[in-house]
Chains A and B, each alone.
Chain A
């Protein structure tokens, strides 16, 4: 069975919610929709306080090349456009809407009928995806239409679909592949058309045999698409690792996947693309896993963007008494959040709760030079060295040791027996090296 070659770890999988079907969460009383939920420039609000909006209506426009439109996720009245505290504790501008009924914008097909025939031209597809505010749903939230525009002089050969879900605990992609497989497959065909590629490969780790089986059965009516089961190994969902695992190509340092003829999208994105192109529906809801060892009912919810995280926790049986940490995302790359009233955004794939005793790090000891961090780094780096160099502010050496290749997968900090804060120090180093590099290029 295929996998990537260099490094990798096996954190306990803990897919507690994998058998919980996707439930539609009740509409919240208000939603707070940040104007920046994507990588790139924030969108500009096009509504004002007091306006009535319909669900699916454009409320903020992404005007820069790397930006994304934002749409109302509920119908109601705009209460305010003001700073809120987002899930990472930063103040961010958001449009707050008070829910009134559930009225959708005209032209959005709300039926569940599967539409297979793709009538739009490649250019129209890209425009549509841009209009509907589709971003990478795996967590990186990079605007999707940008990835579908192949730069001059490059050629896409493969569309790689990430169904790996290598983060422990998370199951939103898994459930989507089981419950919306056909929509997802049409979405993949749409992306193939836009990219003008003949081949698409869906990579799925073999801890999801039901999803592999289910999609395989549907494949005969979707030519060009194949499914590849992958050996479970973290961080297989990293773009570079996934490409290596599926087509055995290595994206060179500092380059994008297109360099080796690949474009990578997440299964959630493929579903969102289907809805945008076939149903004219903007990205206003997503699947979010709510999980954790103390959570009463680990669940997968279909949630409107902007819903407070607290509402999801309520629906999953309430916030357990001894919760010590709440993470937006998976345990390896997710961000710890400060306030559960923060909203779900386009990049929220899961909410993970840790009990008090599991919330703090291991005690820190001297590095015993065991080389474990270096042997598991999927980028072939030496985390112990990068951490020391960054700590000593030797940023030029950091750059020479390829600190910018680090994908912040967290494996090094996970594996270190001495509990060294490796990734924390590497992040500081990356930040500084990034600054130096930008200054040099000016």
Chain B
């Protein structure tokens, strides 16, 4: 008789795998990608492709020649890092800068920690922050959406709606006077505004997020607590003085918040493991985002907020354990 396999129980396993999860995330990014290609044209496509290809390339080089270990570039995680990095830079960013951002994201933030699953900080966010510090000018020039353009030069750029409001308020203007200078809410929701490649359309991102929730790729705790706390903190300030603080709805649909709450903060590698840990982490992200947006030096605070909270994850994990069985003894 042929030899039997002997292994410990269980003997059945889910169909789910790392690459299936990763490709699920990528699939969910399609609506946001389409919106950005529609508004920013060829430039957005080029930035996205450059980032993805360079992330794959750097991961390959590092795994093959530096670590000399197995090459796992097609598990989908490097592609996600590339796509997300592209989504949070301006479409007008010179492509060589995109390549540098990818090198930092993959090389510094991911591989030096030991690769997928070992990194503390979200690689795409690290890439972006590095670019922001190194190339502040280029990183602060946001092209205005020009439907389906193929032109790459002479893009009309201007400040993002968040920057308009922030600078206006800083100069003593009232929020109600500033609002006419930013696009209507409908446009903000759809993505018709200046901003990073894939951040602009809250609706498209939300769609992707809902897909991930249904497919159980992410859970509700982080997005809900993040967005919820933004509404609460921004709403409290707005209630105090609506002429200095813009309303919470504006915060929700502008900048990188949606993408951050659904894709960056939920990055499973760099977020907490227990339900309460996730909720605390989400609230921390929301709080820091508003603090930076309103009181910080930058108009946008999502990237910093999430990176700061990333650093707290080990602490959160040891402080917030899952509810153990037998702990809550109810004798009903």
A and B: bona fide binding partners = yes
Q: A residues touching B (Cβ–Cβ < 8 Å)? A: 6, 11-12, 89, 168, 240, 244, 247-253, 255, 260, 319, 323-327, 329, 331-340, 352, 354, 358-362, 365-372, 374-375, 377-382, 384-385, 402, 405, 408, 410-411, 413-419, 421, 423-424, 427
Q: Given A249-B332, A250-B325, A361-B7, A331–B12 Cβ distance below 8 Å? A: yes
Contact of B9 among A251, A260, A334, A366 (CB under 8 A): A334
Q: Is the CB of B321 within 8 A of A323?
A: no
Residue among A260, A331, A352, A368 making CB contact with B116, cutoff 8 Å: A368
Q: Tell me if B171 is interfacial: C-beta within 8 Å of chain A.
A: no
Closest Cβ of chain B to A157, distance in Å, is 10
With contacts A250-B330, A368-B269 known, is A379 near B11, CB below 8 A? no
Contact B269 A379 (CB under 8 A): no
Report yes or no: B9 in contact with A335, Cβ–Cβ below 8 A.
Answer: yes
**Docked-complex contact A325 and B115, CB < 8 angstroms:** no
Q: Knowing A249-B331, A369-B273, A417-B16 touch, does A336 contact B11 (C-beta < 8 A)?
A: yes
Q: Are A336's CB and B14's CB within 8 A?
A: no
Inter-chain contact B324/A381, CB cutoff 8 Å: yes
Q: In the complex the two chains form, what is the Cα distance from A253 to B5 in whole Å? A: 35
Q: Report Cα–Cα, A240/B327, bound state, in Å.
A: 13
Q: With an 8 A cutoff between CB atoms, is B323 at the interface?
A: yes
Contact of A325 among B4, B72, B116, B330 (CB under 8 A): B4
A439 to chain B, nearest CB (A): 25
In this complex, what residue of A is CB-closest to B12?
A: A331
- Closest A residue to B17 by beta carbon equals A417
Expressed in whole angstroms, the minimum distance between the Cβ of B323 and any Cβ of chain A is 5
Name the interface residues of B156-171: CB closer than 8 Å to any CB of A. Answer: none
Verify A336–B269 contact, CB threshold 8 A.
no
Determine if B274 is an interface residue (Cβ-Cβ < 8 Å): yes
Check B116 against A427 for contact (C-beta < 8 Å): no
Write out the residue numbers on chain B whose beta carbons fall within 8 Å of the beta carbon of A334: 9, 11
Q: Are B8 and A424 in contact (CB under 8 A)?
A: yes
Residues of A within 8 A of B5 (CB): 324-325, 336, 354, 359-360
A375 to B324, CA, bound (A): 11
CB within 8 A of A337: which of B4, B270, B273? B4
- Given A379-B324, A405-B324: 11 more A-B contacts, CB < 8 Å: A252-B329, A326-B4, A332-B12, A335-B9, A365-B117, A367-B117, A369-B268, A371-B268, A381-B324, A384-B273, A423-B10
A379 CA to B327 CA, complexed, in Å: 10
* Complex contact A410–B325 (CB within 8 A): no
Closest 9 pairs between A and B when the two form their complex, measured CB to CB: A410-B10, A366-B117, A380-B324, A359-B5, A336-B6, A370-B268, A331-B12, A417-B16, A371-B273
Q: Which residues of B contact A365 (CB under 8 A)?
A: 18, 72, 75, 116-117
B219 within 8 A of A: yes
CB-based contact B11/A327 at 8 Å = yes
Q: What are 5 A-B residue pairs whose CB atoms fall within 8 Å in the complex?
A: A326-B4, A371-B272, A405-B325, A414-B14, A423-B9
Closest to B75 in A: A365
CB contacts (< 8 Å) of A372 on chain B: these are 16
A402 contact from B1, B13, B117, B324, Cβ within 8 A: B324
User: Does any Cβ of A come within 8 Å of B64's Cβ?
Assistant: no
Hey, what's the 0/1 contact readout for B52-81 against A, CB within 8 Å counting as 1? 000000000000000000001001010000
Query: Complex formed: what's the CA distance from A371 to B74 in Å?
Result: 22
Partner of A414, one of B10, B18, B325: B10
Whether B17 lies near A333 (C-beta < 8 A) is no
Q: Mark B309-332, 1 if CB is under 8 A from A, else 0.
A: 000000000000111111111111
Is B275 on the interface with A (CB-CB < 8 A)?
yes
Q: In the complex the two chains form, what is the Cα distance from A369 to B269 in whole Å?
A: 5
Q: Min CB distance, B233 to chain A, in Å?
A: 26
CB distance from A428 to the nearest CB of B (A): 10
- CB of B182 closer than 8 Å to a CB of A: no
The complex places the Cα of A234 from the Cα of B86 at a distance, in Å, of: 42
Choose among B20, B117, B322 the residue that contacts A382 (Cβ–Cβ < 8 A). B322
Assembled-state Cα–Cα distance A101/B219 (Å): 63
Contact A368 B12 (CB under 8 A): no
Q: B11, A417: Cβ atoms under 8 Å? A: no
Chain B residue with Cβ nearest A321: B2
Say which residue of A168, A250, A374 sits within 8 Å of B273 (CB atoms): A374
Check: B118 CB closer than 8 A to any chain A CB. Answer: yes
Interface residues of B in 68-123 (CB under 8 A from A): 72, 75, 77, 114-118
Shortest Cβ gap from A219 to chain B (Å):
24
State the CA gap A337–B117 with chains docked (Å).
35
Q: Is the CB of A418 within 8 A of B326?
A: no
Q: A415 to chain B: which residues have CB within 8 Å?
A: 14, 16
